[in-house]
Amino acid sequence: MTIDGETAQTPASSSDSLFENLWTAPNAFTLLRLLCLPVFLWLLFAQGNRAGAAWMLVALASTDWIDGYLARRFDQVSEFGKIFDPTVDRLFFFVSVVAILIDGSIPVWFAVAVLLREVAVGAMMAIATLFFGMERFDVTWWGKTATFLLMAAVPSFLISEAGVSESDFFAVVAWATGIPGLALSYWTGIAYIPQVRAGLAAGRQDRADRVSPRQ
């Protein structure tokens, strides 16, 4: 799962290329994962099954790599998939944190801190990419580590409040992964700023190079 919103892919060159090869195995798998989101919400709110909802999140997070593997294995990389997969990952993370916050199973300050960082970094990347021509860049190893820790912490908070035999264990896991994950996510968010500035400068130079021959 990618909660940073930065991927190694470059944007589609045109709307035609974006919507080519929609019906591929990796895109179908990503869609299947997306359709599990209402199931998670149903388990949590309609059934009151915190443990079931938490294990659903664990399953979704642990299968995040499969669509990328399918794309490479069957040579089905598509421009749509490059956008669809990280968008679904971001949606899952955002919705799950908000839902667990509403449920009352996660500390308010922790959830708000996670969401503020998510919104701030996501907005920075989206604005720089869509309006200023910055190319998307690789998520750093530290960014991936922060994502992993937070995706371990969020369902652990939920299980810790589920009243099951393993609740005490997962309460420890939630804090042991959540605090370093949160700190690391903010550190990586700040560390992305120089990369964004460099990407903006490169985008301005690219636009200038395209305009120069006409003058």
How far is the first Cα of the chain from the last one, in angstroms, to the nearest whole number? Answer: 46
Instruction: For residue 136, give the 3-state DSSP assignment.
Output: coil
- The three-class DSSP label of residue 162 is coil
pTM of the model: 0.80
Query: What's the pLDDT at 201?
Result: 81
So what's the pLDDT on residue 9? Answer: 42
Distance of alpha carbon 49 from alpha carbon 54, whole angstroms: 9
List CB contacts of 56: < 8 A, sequence separation 6 or more: 36, 39, 40, 43
d(CA 104, CA 102): 5
- pLDDT, the chain, mean: 83
Task: Please check whether residue 203 is in contact with residue 134, taking contact to mean a CB–CB distance below 8 angstroms.
Answer: yes
> Which are the contacts of 194, defined by CB distance < 8 A and separation ≥ 6?
none
Spatial contact of 207 and 131, defined as CB atoms under 8 Å apart: no
Spans of the chain, pLDDT less than 70:
1-22, 137-138, 203, 207-209, 211-215
* 212 contact partners, CB below 8 Å, separation of at least 6: none
Q: Alpha-carbon distance 46 to 103, whole Å?
A: 11
pLDDT tens figures, 64-108: 777 777 777 877 777 777 777 778 888 889 999 999 999 999 999
User: 115-133 burial, b if ≥16 CB within 10 A, otherwise e?
Assistant: eebbeebbebbeebbeeee
